[in-house]
Chains A and B, each alone.
Chain A
Amino acid sequence: MIAKAWSAIVAHVACIAGFIALWEFCSSRGLLDPTFFGRPSGIIAFLWKGFFVDGKLWLEFGYTLLGAAMSFTAGSLAAVAVGLVFMMLPRVHRAAEPYLTLLNAMPRIALAPLFLLWFGLGLGSKVAVGFSLTFFIVLSATVAGIRSVNSDHLVLSKTLGATQGQVFFKVTLPSAIPVIFSGLRLGLIFALLGVVGAELIAAEHGLGQTLAYLQSTFSMDGVMGLLLLLALFGLSITTVMNGLERSFLDWQ
């Protein structure tokens, strides 16, 4: 088993190394224009300089991270709260549903110019875009989770004489949590997407803003470096969330 896992890791590393070497080779021989595609050595130099020489990337990364964390926290808390209200007041849910569907159907990134006007160039507008994405994803997961409750569990609890509170905390909530959790995992990725997207349009700080600047100055090593950074960051979010799910929801 362990030997198999190691050989898989070695194979992955070999493939990635081969890809990087080929990229570097093509760039140095002029087969691939570094003005458009950057080159691995340039990307590494850019990230090294940004994080460890002048340290400027930390600030931009921090802004994006803070924006994503704020949108995620506010968006998911609001969504779970609204989901619970919907559960307790089905009539409110039915009345609100068409409006929510309409809002959710709107491409949220198109709202960014409006939010920039309302909330300014700083974090506020970024959080607003991230929130608008996270909220709907987590809300629909919460509603789906609450609906997924097994009717046998409700009948059993009813015959046992469970109060509404007992049914909620002992049956409805635990059975909704896995679905809500999947919503949270997606919500976190979308919070990051919303913040970076809004930064791309206009911002004072943040990875999106830096990305837009580097692109306009044809610094492809920088653009590629930041894309790599965002991809790795997204991957680590997913990995951490999967780990949390495995340890907290090990009954699944």
Chain B
Amino acid sequence: MPSPLHHSEDRCADASQVANELKRTPQTWAEVVGLRDLTVRFNVGAGGSFLAVDRASLSLYAGEFVSLVGPSGCGKTTILNLLAGLLPSPPEGEVHVLGNFPTAGNPDIAYMLARDSLLPWRTALGNASYGMEIRGLPKAEREEKARTLLQRVGLGDFANHYPKALSHGMRQRCALARTFALESTVLLMDEPFGALDAQTKLQLEDVLMDLWSANQRTVVFVTHDLAEAVALCDRIIVMGARPGRIIADVAIDLPRPRHVRALQKDPKFHDYYARLWSLLEQGMDSHDR
């Protein structure tokens, strides 16, 4: 199994640079998100419990784009919800985001759901500003920022459109603008493109790469699409199901900046895909046997 600290030199340089920009103290930039022997159980009634995540350990560093992949029931969404502070009860083991136990509403964290969750009574501009509005930014500042981001995601001409007038892809672009408008260091994304058709998905992945490379945050990206994970990530955490556990941590050494559509023709991309696919299958086999 590759070590979690499987980084090339220049990635580390990148990470420290980002961390300096973020004005974090050295102890915290070293590890932005940490899990130590994390175990999550859910009560299923009648005193029974279900083991959702079994002794998972993981370190994520500043500016890393990391994907959690695995079959359904492997605990990837559970880990994401834990980091977002959305789990009903505290887990066993240790977990921190920038040194603190994760809680909902932590300004260090921005969460993007699988569905766009745009507010239908707000225009694209109003939706792109929503997160900043809740976090108390002044009106002029958040509007300017929202306009800039709408421009960046290709919705510049749709600022005053209501969501009903936008396609699925455009709505998810707007949700990206809302997420990236926040200053949060850590972005949690729960299959944000899962409901899109293949073409739109590739376009949105490029938009995401563009936004992320301009301002490298630490991204935890949950997906069950291996191609998407390889195209976007620095590292892929492969998880197995029942109980949910980490089975592999694979560094993706493809050059950046990446163009997701161009990558589709790159043989290295397909090598990674094949390797990850066999890892995933091992995870499933060990369970099915």
- Any chain A CB within 8 A of the CB of B107? yes
- Interface 1/0 per residue, B82-116 and A, CB below 8 Å: 00111000000000000000001111011101010
Q: Is the CB of A161 within 8 A of B119?
A: no
Q: Is the CB of A156 within 8 A of B113?
A: yes
* Bound-complex Cα distance A166 to B105 (A): 13
Q: Is the CB of A152 within 8 A of B113?
A: yes
How close is B188's CB to chain A, nearest CB, in angstroms?
8
How close is A227's CB to chain B, nearest CB, in angstroms?
40
Main SS at interface, chain B: loop
How close is B67's CB to chain A, nearest CB, in angstroms?
20
**Quick one: given A166-B134, A251-B162, A251-B164, are A159 and B111 in contact (CB under 8 Å)?**
yes
A155, A161, A174, A249: the one within 8 Å of B134 (CB): A161
Closest A residue, CB atoms, query B182: A160
- Any chain A CB within 8 A of the CB of B36? no
- Interface 1/0 per residue, A151-165 and B, CB below 8 Å: 011011111111000
How close is B101's CB to chain A, nearest CB, in angstroms?
15
For B133, the chain A residues whose CB sits under 8 A away are 170
Q: Is the CB of A158 within 8 A of B86?
A: yes
Q: Is the CB of A159 within 8 A of B117?
A: no
Q: Is the CB of A160 within 8 A of B135?
A: yes
Total count of chain B residues near the partner, CB < 8 A = 26
Counting chain A residues whose Cβ lies within 8 A of the other chain, the interface size class is: 20 to 34
For B110, the chain A residues whose CB sits under 8 A away are 159-160
- Any chain B CB within 8 A of the CB of A171? yes
For B119, the chain A residues whose CB sits under 8 A away are 153, 170-171, 174-175
**Quick one: given A152-B113, A155-B113, are A162 and B105 in contact (CB under 8 Å)?**
yes
Q: Is the CB of B120 within 8 A of A155?
A: no
How close is A213's CB to chain B, nearest CB, in angstroms?
49
Q: Is the CB of B131 within 8 A of A160?
A: yes
A159, A250, A251: the one within 8 Å of B86 (CB): A159
In chain A, positions 172-192 with a C-beta closer than 8 Å to chain B are 174-175, 177
- Any chain B CB within 8 A of the CB of A252? yes
- Any chain B CB within 8 A of the CB of A28? no
For B130, the chain A residues whose CB sits under 8 A away are 160, 170
**Which A residues have a C-beta under 8 Å from some C-beta of B?**
150, 152-153, 155-162, 166, 170-171, 174-175, 177, 249-252
Give 10 closest A-B pairs by Cβ, nearest first: A161-B105, A152-B117, A159-B111, A160-B134, A251-B162, A251-B121, A174-B121, A158-B104, A162-B134, A156-B117
Not counting A159-B105, A160-B110, a sample of 18 additional A-B residue pairs whose C-beta atoms are within 8 angstroms of each other reads: A150-B117, A152-B115, A153-B117, A153-B119, A155-B113, A156-B113, A158-B105, A160-B105, A161-B104, A171-B119, A175-B120, A175-B121, A250-B162, A251-B120, A251-B122, A251-B162, A251-B163, A252-B120
